[in-house]
Structure 1
Amino acid sequence: MSAPNHSTVSYDVFVIIGIPGLKELHVWISIPFCLMYLVAVLGNDLLICVVAVECSLHEPMYVFLSMLAFWDLVLSTSMVPKALSIFWLDNVDISFGGCVIQLFFMHFAFVMEPGILLAMAFHRYMAICYPLRYTTILSHGVTGKIGGVVVFRSFATIFPIVFLVKCLPFCQTNIIAHTFCEHMGLAKLACADITINIWYGISVPLLSVMLDMVTIVISYGLILRAVFRLSSHNAQMKVLSTCGAHVCVILMFYLPGIFTVIAQRFSPKIPKHVHILLANLYVLVPPMMNPIIYGVKTKRICEQVTLVFSPKVKCC
């Protein structure tokens, strides 16, 4: 018997079913999703506006912070509105083009964030280890070039995924058991060899996200070495407190991702809906928490935000 010919079948519309096995709870699940998304949008929008309006915050650290807030918005907005439309309206259809656009921006933002965190770690390293040369080295022009390199690197890393996905024939099923489109989830539906997709999907987090993490750890190792060489205990505590917000945000980005990968690789018996919920929380929690962490731990941000709502309130 000859092999079936799949070349005559192609899907232009895919069905995103949401969280398998929990369809009856979609409305209840949508409530925390919606609340977290609203907090993320309001918090990051406020952070971007404060940095843009306040001239005293036009410094490299706050420029990078506003970039992080913007890509937090891109990351969460690329997923949550569609997920809420599935939960509330049962709007499960998505075009192939829409699916590719969604996965592109999600992966783009995912690779952008560690790049921005690395740029912020480099800023902290220069400010603490080379304080006399800091303003000369990290000028506005250099800051803009660093931001441009981060954006270009992320784009160049993720854009090939669009071609890898568009070249695949889809003729087995058009049902995506998830709340959003992502590269490997879509590639696994193809009736073709996806070896290149698998290897590219592995190499991207290893060569970009994890490499950034290693470089960030090295940067903070050098920062700690410089801090503990300071003679004054008060100076040590002051420097460490200025790094506190950045360290919290780094942990907020990497720890959920590492936990998700470990759960997927080493706990195959965990139900699929648990993996999907973890993936959604990974997209939602960091964008929601980042502006809160910086608002609380960064005095200058806190002061400007409180001036908007209550001029009489003073930050610690």
Structure 2
Amino acid sequence: MTEDKEQDTCSEQESSPNEAIFFVLSYLHLFELLAMAQVCKSLRDAINSDILPWLKIVVDRPLNWRLSDEILMKVASKAKGRLQVLALINCVKITDDGLLRVVAQNPHITKLHVPGCTSLSPGGVVTAVKLLSENNHKLKVLQINGIQGIQKEELETLHNLINQDQIQKKRCNILYNEYNKLSTLEHIDSNRSIDVDICPKCNDVRTVFDCPQVLSHNECRGCDLCITRCIECGICITSTQELEEASCSDTLCLECWLKLPKCSFCNKPYCNNHADQQHRVSGSVGFVCATCHSRFN
């Protein structure tokens, strides 16, 4: 009997997670947090009872395509009305109703990111920002790139709702490749207030970029439809410069093209955003692009 009790005690001690794990919960992304809650009962209870891990909700791949209004409400409710950051990256199923319900129950959100949420309407975003602007609360950062149909009047309303002085002080030159990596808290914590503007070329509301090599030259300022830019360094590529194609069909300047590793067959590189598509060759330091890999296999 004594040996059985000792074995049970040892088994319980071995199954109990190290206390250090509980200190990292607030640093985990949503996917990791939900996966951690499935490990054992003690971790599940700790995650569900602690508000701190839920103050910043960032939904990116692979959860974004599966996130619905109902699931979002369930996740956001864990913050108990104290949600500070809501980042929904390419969450195509989230509607105006789902967003407004979360915003109404969490009036202290200071950073709202909904890029690529194609089921949201400009009117829904304006209403959400109005709700967050009540009771002298100020939304600090808004990212809405990819939401279709935003009119100049609606953009002006958003600018008026967010502290205009703050916008002028924190406005900075936007590098093109930052928007292809918008899935981490580092980018979510950027100091831009609104990520879209009126393009001086086409006069539409889009993400407007500045050429990092010609910061004071307004001719290089425009959206990606009006000005071709290198996906790596963000510089504009004029008609007098050579356009270099990557294996992922993105555009590269000659300098960036020369620096990147090339496919062993077609001699085309991947940009850093699509480097995970490389197929490694056994016994070689090189790689094969997806096109060549499918062709030869």
Please give the range of the TM-score, normalised by the shorter of the 2 chains: under 0.3
Higher strand share: 2
- TM-score with structure 1 setting the length: 0.23
Task: Give the helix-richer structure, 1 or 2.
Answer: 1
- Higher RCO by CA contacts (8 Å cutoff, separation 6 or greater): 1
